[in-house]
Amino acid sequence: MENLLKKIQHFLEEIDSYRDKLLFLFIKPYWPLKITPNHVTYVRVIIGILLCVLLFFFNIENKILILTLFFIGAITDFVDGPVARGTNRVTEFGAMLDSTADRILIIPIALYSLFSLEKWLLLSLILIEVTNALTSLFYKSKEIYLESNIFGKIKMTIQAIVFIIILITWPNLPAEFFLDLLWISIIFGILSIFARILDLKNKQHVQLKNIQHPFR
């Protein structure tokens, strides 16, 4: 099972690498160095907080405004990773900020669009995000750096696309197919957690061997 998961993960990462190669054509020669990857991610955090305030504190439900803000937030998730890799600015803090920003963006829209009609789906999405966050905190407490994995990236991509469709069709729910995609994103969320646990286990094993044989 573990070997199968690694093979699937490697295959999907190979496909995802083409996105980086395509974006690098524009990022490496043209990206302004004053704008760091974390600046891009902070935009997503601000948009997520702004959506929460607009929807739940001011009850502003202007479809064009909400959809535009969410779309911009989703685009920042598409580019901040490639910018970090293309400008050699990949950091542990940036990786943790990226996953946190994803949750801050997705959860307000999930609550807004699913609470009244798809409570079990909403609950499942939130439980996966909470579990993922707890897993990240756990391996952080072990002082082991694990990068975000491809399963988490796919989960976020699916959710971003589906919630854009949901915001377009709101207050009506979209076709059942799109809700099914959200359930599929939960499967990728579970795979992401499982992959993190395996990575943590492997890196702890390497750490232990280095401690036992420091001069080997």
Domain ranges of the chain: 2-212
Chain centroid to Cα 6, Å, comes to 19
Which whole number is the average pLDDT over 16-38?
A: 89
20 is catalytic: no
- Rounded to whole angstroms, the Cα distance separating 97 from 74 reads 15
- Rounded to whole angstroms, the Cα distance separating 79 from 44 reads 11
Percent of residues, the chain, with pLDDT higher than 70: 90
Which whole number is the average pLDDT over 49-78?
A: 94
Burial of 6 (0-12, 13-18, 19+ CB in 10 A): middle
Residue 2 has phi, psi (to 5 degrees) of -65, -45
Residue 182 has pLDDT above 70, yes or no: yes
Residue 153: predicted pLDDT: 92
186-208 pLDDT per residue, tens: 999 999 988 888 877 776 544 44
Residue 86 has pLDDT above 50, yes or no: yes
Residue 199: predicted pLDDT: 78
- Rounded to whole angstroms, the Cα distance separating 125 from 182 reads 8
Q: What is the CATH number of domain 2-212?
A: 1.20.120
- Confidence band of 51 (pLDDT split at 50, 70, 90): very high
Token pair for 32:
């302004």
Residue 137: predicted pLDDT: 79
Given 20, 98, 102, 180, which residue is catalytic? 102
The answer to whether the beta carbons of residues 176 and 114 sit under 8 Å apart is: no
Amino acid at 160: A
The answer to whether the beta carbons of residues 118 and 181 sit under 8 Å apart is: no
- Rounded to whole angstroms, the Cα distance separating 138 from 199 reads 13
What is the DSSP secondary structure assignment for residue 190, as one 8-state letter?
H
Confidence (pTM):
0.87
